[in-house]
Amino acid sequence: MVRIDTDPPSLEQDCAVGDYVALQSQAVIATAPSPAALHEKLAQTPGLGIEQVVVARIERLPSPAAVAAVRQQSDAIIRETIELEKQFPAPSEDELFADARWFRERWGKPEFEPYRGTYVAILNGSVVARGADELRLRLALARQLNVHPQRFIIEYVPPRAFG
């Protein structure tokens, strides 16, 4: 992921109601008080795939307690995923590259329309699951398929087409 700032901004510390944020893979990569200022920041970033960036206006900020609760849940999912990884051999690069190639060849095609705005999990050249949260999707699918959590690739399909 391309980062705009050395330390990426966080919603609870670096944003105010009314600010605009640029998100990539659900992470805040830049903030600015106006769309023009945000666009200027993004334009100065070499290699940033603008089609992978979502811009949103902050209408309200989460409470510190809500942020802490989400972090706790994410940390627990990450710990569970790491423990599950220990139970299976790591996937081969060939397997992962084949799935990545399959996704890249089909990216932007009509077959991905039903998945807009979600993460898709790809295994053996097909979409095997989708979800709104990458971490939860990875853990749930690894458990369901009884495979290493890194055996499949997960990609985000933006909610709208770019062009």
pLDDT given at position 5: 35
pLDDT given at position 149: 96
- Rounded to 5°, the CA angle 80-74-154 comes to 80
Gyration radius (Cα) of the chain, Å? 18
Residue 48: pLDDT above 90?
Answer: no
pLDDT given at position 13: 52
H helices present in the chain, as ranges: 11-14, 35-43, 64-85, 93-106, 134-145
DSSP 158: -
**61-108 per-position pLDDT tens digit:** 777 787 788 888 888 999 999 999 999 999 999 999 999 999 999 988
Distance (Å, whole) CA 64 – CA 79:
22
Residue 10: pLDDT above 70?
Answer: no
**98-154 per-position pLDDT tens digit:** 999 999 999 888 888 899 888 999 999 999 999 988 889 999 999 999 999 999 999
Place of tokens 């996704």: 103
Q: How confident is the model at residue 29 (pLDDT cuts 50, 70, 90)?
A: confident
Distance (Å, whole) CA 103 – CA 125:
8
Distance (Å, whole) CA 29 – CA 44:
13
pLDDT given at position 124: 95
Q: Which of 113, 109, 124 is nearest to 159 (CA)?
A: 113
Residue 163: pLDDT above 50?
Answer: no
Q: How confident is the model at residue 43 (pLDDT cuts 50, 70, 90)?
A: confident
